[in-house]
Amino acid sequence: MNTHDLNRQPTTRLGCEKLEARENPAGNVIATILPDGVLYLRGDANNNLVSVQQYANGDLFAYGVDGTTVNGQSMVYIGNGYPTGVAFVMDAGNDLLEMIGVRTSGGIWGQMGNENDGLALYNVMAGALQPLMEGGDDIVVTDSVYIWGYCEINGGAGFDTIDYRTYGIYAPSYFALPNMEKQVGGPYGYY
Ligand SMILES: [Ca+2]
Ligand SMILES: [Ca+2]
Ligand closest to Cα of 138 equals 2
Residue 172 located in a structural domain: yes
Residues 153, 103: Cα–Cα separation, whole Å: 18
In a domain, 190, yes or no: no
Give the residue-averaged pLDDT of 48-75: 98
* Threshold 0.95, pTM exceeds: no
Evaluate whether residue 147 is within a structural domain: yes
User: Which of 23, 112, 36, 101 has its CA nearest to residue 62?
Assistant: 101
Q: Could you tell me if residue 175 is inside a domain? A: yes
Give how far the C-alpha of residue 49 lies from the chain's centroid of Cα atoms, to the nearest Å.
Answer: 10
Question: Lowest-pLDDT range, 42-46, 66-70, 142-146, 163-167?
Answer: 163-167
Per-residue pLDDT tens digits for 140-188: 999 999 999 999 999 999 999 999 998 899 999 999 999 999 999 875 6
Return the pLDDT at 24: 72
Which ligand has the nearest atom to the CA of 93?
1
| Residues lying with their CB under 5 A of ligand 2, a single-atom ion | 112, 117, 133-134, 136, 138
How far is the centre of ligand 2, averaged over its atoms, from the C-alpha of 161 (Å)?
A: 11
Count how many domains the chain has. Answer: 1
Mean pLDDT, rounded, for 17-46? 85
Task: Quote the domain boundaries for residue 109.
Answer: 3-185
- Rounded Cα distance between 123 and 154, Å, is 20
